[in-house]
A and B are shown apart, each in its own frame.
Chain A
Amino acid sequence: MQYQSFLIKYAEIAIKGKNRHIFEDALVKQIKIALRKVEGTFSVTREYGRMFVSAQGDYDYDEAVEALKHVFGIVGICPVEVSDVDAPDKLKEKAVSFFGREYPDTDKSFKVHVRRLDKRYPLDSQQLNAMIGEAILEAYPSTHVDVHEPDIMLQVEIREKVYFYSHVIPGPGGLPVGSGGKAMLCLSGGIDSPVAGYMIAKRGIKLDAVYFNAPPYTSERALQKVIDLAAVIAKYTGPIYLHNINFTAIQMYIYEKCPHDELTIHMRRYMMRIAERLARDNECGAIITGESVGQVASQTMASLQATNEVCTLPVFRPLIGFDKEEIITVSKKIGTYETSILPYEDCCTIFVAKHPVTKPNVDVIRRHEKNLSEDIDRLFEEAIATDEVIIVGKEDVRQMA
Chain B
Amino acid sequence: MMKEIYLDNSATTRVFPEAAQLMSEIYLNEYGNPSSMHHMGVIAERRIMEAGNILADILKVNRKNLIYTSCGSESDNLAIIGGAHANARNGKHVITSAIEHPGVSEAFAHLKEEGYEVTVLPVDRYGRVSVSALEEAVRDDTVLVSVMHVNNELGSVQPVEELAAAIKRKNPKTLFHVDAVQSFGKFRINPKRAGIDLLSASGHKIHGPKGVGLLYIADKVRVENLIYGGGQQQGLRSGTENVAGIAGMALAAKMLYDDLDRETERLYGMKKEFISRILQIPGVSVNGIEFGEGAEPLLDPARTAPHIISLSAKDVRAEVLLHALEEKGIYVSAGSACASNRPHISETLTAIGLKKDLLDSTVRVSMSVMTTQEEMNAAADALKELIPFLSRFRRH
In this complex, how many residues of chain A approach chain B with their Cβ under 8 Å: the count is 18
A217 touches B323 (CB 8 A): yes
Report A255 CB to chain B, min CB distance, Å.
5
Contact with B along A187-222 (1 / 0, CB 8 A): 000000000000000000000000000011111010
A216 touches B327 (CB 8 A): yes
B395 at interface, CB cutoff 8 A: yes
Chain B residue contacts of A216, Cβ below 8 A:
320-324, 326-327
Instruction: Write the chain A residue with the least CB distance to B393.
Output: A255
A317 at interface, CB cutoff 8 A: no
A-B interface contact total, Cβ < 8 Å: 33
Chain A residue contacts of B396, Cβ below 8 A:
260-261, 351, 353-354
Near A by CB (< 8 A), chain B positions 316-346 give: 319-324, 326-327, 341-343
Contact with B along A348-360 (1 / 0, CB 8 A): 0011111000000
Chain B residue contacts of A345, Cβ below 8 A:
319
A343 touches B320 (CB 8 A): no
Chain B residue contacts of A252, Cβ below 8 A:
393
Chain A residue contacts of B393, Cβ below 8 A:
252, 255, 351
Chain A residue contacts of B320, Cβ below 8 A:
216-217
C-alpha gap A221/B342 in the complex (Å): 11
C-alpha gap A232/B72 in the complex (Å): 36
C-alpha gap A354/B396 in the complex (Å): 6
C-alpha gap A81/B56 in the complex (Å): 71
Chain A residue contacts of B323, Cβ below 8 A:
215-219
Chain B residue contacts of A256, Cβ below 8 A:
392
Report B188 CB to chain A, min CB distance, Å.
39
C-alpha gap A343/B326 in the complex (Å): 20
Near A by CB (< 8 A), chain B positions 76-125 give: none
Instruction: Write the chain A residue with the least CB distance to B344.
Output: A343
Chain A residue contacts of B324, Cβ below 8 A:
216
Report B349 CB to chain A, min CB distance, Å.
19
C-alpha gap A218/B393 in the complex (Å): 14
Do most interface residues of chain A lie in helix, strand or loop, or is the interface mixed?
A: loop
Instruction: Write the chain B residue with the least CB distance to A216.
Output: B323
Report B19 CB to chain A, min CB distance, Å.
29
C-alpha gap A354/B395 in the complex (Å): 8
C-alpha gap A177/B343 in the complex (Å): 38
Chain A residue contacts of B327, Cβ below 8 A:
215-216
C-alpha gap A70/B6 in the complex (Å): 45
Chain A residue contacts of B342, Cβ below 8 A:
343
Instruction: Write the chain B residue with the least CB distance to A215.
Output: B323
Contact with A along B205-224 (1 / 0, CB 8 A): 00000000000000000000
Report B72 CB to chain A, min CB distance, Å.
24
Contact with B along A112-140 (1 / 0, CB 8 A): 00000000000000000000000000000
B326 touches A221 (CB 8 A): no
A343 touches which of B321, B322, B343 (Cβ 8 Å): B343
Report B314 CB to chain A, min CB distance, Å.
17
Chain B residue contacts of A354, Cβ below 8 A:
395-396
Near B by CB (< 8 A), chain A positions 272-287 give: none
C-alpha gap A219/B320 in the complex (Å): 8
Instruction: Write the chain A residue with the least CB distance to B386.
Output: A216
Chain A residue contacts of B319, Cβ below 8 A:
219, 345
Near B by CB (< 8 A), chain A positions 206-258 give: 215-219, 221, 252, 255-256
Chain A residue contacts of B395, Cβ below 8 A:
350-354
Contact with A along B231-262 (1 / 0, CB 8 A): 00000000000000000000000000000000
Chain A residue contacts of B322, Cβ below 8 A:
216
Instruction: Write the chain B residue with the least CB distance to A350.
Output: B395
B341 touches which of A221, A260, A353 (Cβ 8 Å): A221
Chain B residue contacts of A343, Cβ below 8 A:
342-343
Near A by CB (< 8 A), chain B positions 370-396 give: 392-396
Chain B residue contacts of A260, Cβ below 8 A:
396
C-alpha gap A219/B396 in the complex (Å): 21
Chain A residue contacts of B394, Cβ below 8 A:
351
Report A214 CB to chain B, min CB distance, Å.
10
Report A187 CB to chain B, min CB distance, Å.
21
Chain B residue contacts of A261, Cβ below 8 A:
396
Instruction: Write the chain A residue with the least CB distance to B325.
Output: A216
Contact with B along A303-332 (1 / 0, CB 8 A): 000000000000000000000000000000
Report B127 CB to chain A, min CB distance, Å.
27
C-alpha gap A345/B394 in the complex (Å): 14
Chain B residue contacts of A353, Cβ below 8 A:
395-396
Instruction: Write the chain A residue with the least CB distance to B326.
Output: A216
Chain B residue contacts of A351, Cβ below 8 A:
393-396
C-alpha gap A345/B392 in the complex (Å): 19
Instruction: Write the chain B residue with the least CB distance to A351.
Output: B395
Report A228 CB to chain B, min CB distance, Å.
14
C-alpha gap A345/B343 in the complex (Å): 10
Which residues of A are in contact with B by a Cβ distance under 8 Å? 215-219, 221, 252, 255-256, 260-261, 343, 345, 350-354
| A–B complex contacts, Cβ < 8 Å, 21 sampled | A215-B323, A216-B320, A216-B321, A216-B323, A216-B326, A216-B327, A217-B323, A218-B323, A219-B319, A219-B323, A255-B393, A256-B392, A261-B396, A343-B342, A345-B319, A350-B395, A351-B395, A351-B396, A352-B395, A353-B395, A353-B396
With contacts A351-B396, A353-B396 known, what are 16 further pairs, Cβ within 8 A? A216-B321, A216-B322, A216-B324, A216-B327, A218-B323, A219-B319, A255-B393, A256-B392, A261-B396, A343-B342, A345-B319, A350-B395, A351-B395, A352-B395, A353-B395, A354-B395
